[in-house]
Amino acid sequence: MFDLLGCLLVIVCMLAMSVFVSQIEARIEVSISKYITQLSLELQEQRQQQVETNSKYLTRLEEKLEKIKVAIESENENLRAQNHALEQENRRLESENKQIQVVIDQLTQKWIPKPSPGGGNKSKR
């Protein structure tokens, strides 16, 4: 009878241990699930903060790029205006150069005698 009671006691203890182990496993699973959920929420919050930070940074970059673009366009307009003025000055100087060349040619024809057609260096008698 004591053997039977001892056997029953062992079976009851094994069942109790089995229930205890099952409860511990369930608690561990719940703890792991809560930890994973907490990590997931923290990661999601970090990602959201990073997205906001990146968005602000991109906005600042876009503003800087727009300012640079406006400055380049303004400088481009200034250079076009300078180029136009230089082209006009170049045309004016070319015209003056042609006029000066005409005057030089006229003075050359007037003041430098041309050699006579048949004589060359013959002296006059």
Q: Which pLDDT score is estimated for 6? A: 85
Half-sphere exposure of 81 (CA within 13 A, CB side): 6
Instruction: Label residue 125 by pLDDT band (50, 70, 90).
Output: very low
Q: Residue 58, SS3?
A: helix
Please state the length of the chain: 125
CA distance 62 to 56: 10
Secondary structure (DSSP) of 63-99 = HHHHHHHHHHHHHHHHHHHHHHHHHHHHHHHHHHHHH
Q: For 51-61, what is the mean pLDDT?
A: 98
C-alpha 44/C-alpha 52 separation (Å) is: 12
Computed on alpha carbons and rounded to an integer, the radius of gyration of the chain in Å comes to 52
Name the more confident of 71 and 1: 71
CA distances from 27 to 23, 32, 39 (A): 6, 8, 18
Token couple for 113: 């005698």
